[in-house]
Amino acid sequence: MKKNITIVGAGLAGSLCALYLTKRGHNVSIFERRNDLRSEIITAGKSINLALSERGLTALKKVGVEAEVMNIAIAMDKRIMHDEKGNLTEQLYGNDGQAIYSVSRAQLNVLMMKLAAKNGADLYFNEKCIDANLEDASVIFENTNTNQKQTVKSDLIIGADGAFSAVRKQMVEQYDHDFDYNKIDHDYKELHIPAGKNGSFLLDKNALHIWPRGEFMLIALANLDGSFTCTLFAPKKGEKSFEGLNSEIEVENYFSAIFPDFLNLVPDLYKQWIANPTSGLGIIKTFPWHIKDTAVLIGDSAHATVPFYGQGMNASLEDCRMLDELLDKHGEDLKSCFSEYSITRKPNGDGLQDLSMQNFIVMRDNTADPTFLLQKEIEKKFSNLYPEKWIPLYSMVSFTNIPYADAWKIGMKQEKMMEEIMKIKNIEKEWESDVIMNKMCSLV
Ligand SMILES: Cc1cc2nc3c(=O)[nH]c(=O)nc-3n(C[C@H](O)[C@H](O)[C@H](O)COP(=O)(O)OP(=O)(O)OC[C@H]3O[C@@H](n4cnc5c(N)ncnc54)[C@H](O)[C@@H]3O)c2cc1C
């Protein structure tokens, strides 16, 4: 039966969900707190970049919009690590042709909103959700320009309003749902490498660039206009933290000592440093993700995570696909559909968060470690010989739709096994021999 559905939040999850639901023939209205981004000029490089990978692409493909998204994406088939002297090391992410994709969050969001509207969704902007009666499926919005309030009554509320979700707040306050917000000790700041002459790229555009430095790191992803959007992740306090980076000289000294090749690419570093905010990062856990058959959470509102696996958006898009599959399974029985969604999806939200925290250590620390890089080479060789026995963790997460919870469990088992392998005497010389491959076969 055709339903009237209110989606709160026109971000990536909200817009994709609208596409899925309008394709099912429902009347969908999206209410968004911000201005209409579609009417603003989005210049590449002025928004954060996201790494889009297989799960996100699978969810886009299912509603037929993958090709349009690929038009604004840049393939990254490898990491390139920059050491303190500016030397580069490459590590392919997977096998030939396997890549993740750099997309501008704003450009992708505009595209997704346009596609949702084209498919029949109604979009309302400057409408902030301030309250909701979740069992009655009614939401109160306040217009951010006029302060005028309106109550919107429908059959179903979808909370797609991000990490600080107002819909989730009502679930937690009115229904005593579990809630936990864990801020990490690191903040981040966006920086920007401009394009070179005639829009040329000053670094390899088909790579995710990392400057791994133990407790902190800098990353850069390419934009279509030749520039790169970069993010510095560093501790809030202590040695070499944001705390000590206030004056121009402090910032210049920090970058020239730690990221010298980066400094050469950014002529107006200090101007950017003071103009761009320093923002926090955290993990949000909540449960359940629904109320009866009248309200459900998707995306960051249900499982916001730290960005180190580049999976927050991918998981949010995957939520929409999973919900769509469960709508097929349960038909009109929305209560069972949402209940199964909450129960089956929550462990994957947890898995995503565990993976994200673990990959912070991999990126900032391990990618600069030759033993880690060797371990990854061994895993790759074994996986190519015995693909049915071993998919490397990064590939499970980024190049398959294996549930996050399963990937996390298998990855931990693999790590234990690799600890044994890496202890073998002369492993750096012997690793390509049959002995090592046979040993791995016996352990797996
Ligand atoms: C620095 C950084 C880097 C990241 N990199 C990656 C990456 O490489 N790959 C990846 O997959 N993910 C990445 N992520 C995560 C990704 O950005 C999020 O997981 C994704 O945006 C979640 O989508 P969403 O639609 O659930 O939430 P959002 O994108 O936050 O959208 C929520 C929408 O709801 C609106 N809203 C909020 N409150 C209200 C309200 N009260 N009323 C009405 N509207 C409201 C907001 O304005 C917004 O438009 C990164 C995140 C950060 C911070």
| CB of residue 126 inside a 6 A radius of ligand 1 | no
118, HSE (Cβ side, Cα atoms, 13 Å): 10
What atom of ligand 1 comes closest to residue 167's alpha carbon? 41
Pocket test for ligand 1, best of 110, 113, 161 (most atoms within 8 A of CB): 161
What atom of ligand 1 comes closest to residue 130's alpha carbon? 41
When the pLDDT of each residue in the chain is averaged and rounded to a whole number, the result is 95
- 43 pLDDT tier (thresholds 50, 70, 90): low
- 96 pLDDT tier (thresholds 50, 70, 90): confident
| CB of residue 300 inside a 6 A radius of ligand 1 | yes
| CB of residue 351 inside a 6 A radius of ligand 1 | no
Pocket test for ligand 1, best of 33, 47, 139, 171 (most atoms within 8 A of CB): 33
H helix runs in 259-392, sequence order = 260-263, 269-275, 300-303, 312-330, 334-364, 370-385
**Calpha distance 228→220 (Å, rounded):** 6
Sheet bearing 149-153, strands edge to edge: 127-133, 138-143, 149-153
Residue percentage of the chain with pLDDT more than 90: 91
Distance 219 CA to ligand 1 centre (A): 19
Distance 372 CA to ligand 1 centre (A): 32
The candidate with the shortest Cα–Cα distance to 258, out of 210, 213, 203, is 213
Distance 205 CA to ligand 1 centre (A): 24
Start-to-end Cα distance in the chain: 49
| CB of residue 161 inside a 6 A radius of ligand 1 | yes
Distance 11 CA to ligand 1 centre (A): 6
Residue percentage of the chain with pLDDT more than 70: 99
Mean pLDDT, to the nearest integer, of 312-336? 98
64, HSE (Cβ side, Cα atoms, 13 Å): 6
Pocket test for ligand 1, best of 37, 50, 151 (most atoms within 8 A of CB): 50
- Other C-beta atoms lying within 10 Å of the C-beta of residue 243: 13
pLDDT at res. 364: 80
Both tokens assigned to 293: 């058959």
Angle subtended at Cα 252 by Cα 246 and Cα 256, rounded to the nearest 5 degrees: 140
The residue contributing the CA closest to ligand 1 atom 29 is 11
Instruction: Tell me if 341 sits within 8 A of 290, measured CB to CB.
Output: yes
Which one-letter amino acid corresponds to residue 301? S
| 362 vs 244, higher pLDDT | 244
DSSP-derived secondary structure letter, 194: P
Instruction: Tell me if 144 sits within 8 A of 128, measured CB to CB.
Output: yes
pLDDT at res. 391: 95
DSSP-derived secondary structure letter, 80: E
Decide if pLDDT at 128 tops 90: yes
pLDDT at res. 46: 57
Decide if pLDDT at 93 tops 60: yes
The per-residue pLDDT for range 200-226, each reduced to its tens digit, is: 999 999 999 999 998 889 999 999 999
**Calpha distance 216→235 (Å, rounded):** 7
Mean pLDDT, to the nearest integer, of 101-128? 97
| CB of residue 212 inside a 6 A radius of ligand 1 | no
pLDDT at res. 42: 65
| CB of residue 211 inside a 6 A radius of ligand 1 | no
Instruction: Tell me if 298 sits within 8 A of 346, measured CB to CB.
Output: no
pLDDT at res. 7: 98
The per-residue pLDDT for range 229-258, each reduced to its tens digit, is: 999 999 999 988 999 999 999 999 999 999
| 327 vs 363, higher pLDDT | 327
Pocket test for ligand 1, best of 6, 7, 12, 301 (most atoms within 8 A of CB): 12
The residue contributing the CA closest to ligand 1 atom 50 is 307
Which of 52-61, 232-241, 314-323 shows the lowest per-residue confidence on average (mean pLDDT)?
A: 232-241
Mean pLDDT, to the nearest integer, of 385-413? 96
| CB of residue 187 inside a 6 A radius of ligand 1 | no
**Calpha distance 78→99 (Å, rounded):** 7
Q: Exposed, middle or buried: residue 267 (CB in 10 Å: 0-12, 13-18, 19+)? A: exposed
| CB of residue 125 inside a 6 A radius of ligand 1 | no
| CB of residue 392 inside a 6 A radius of ligand 1 | no
- Measured torsion, CA atoms of residues 370, 371, 374, 380, in degrees rounded to the nearest 10: -120
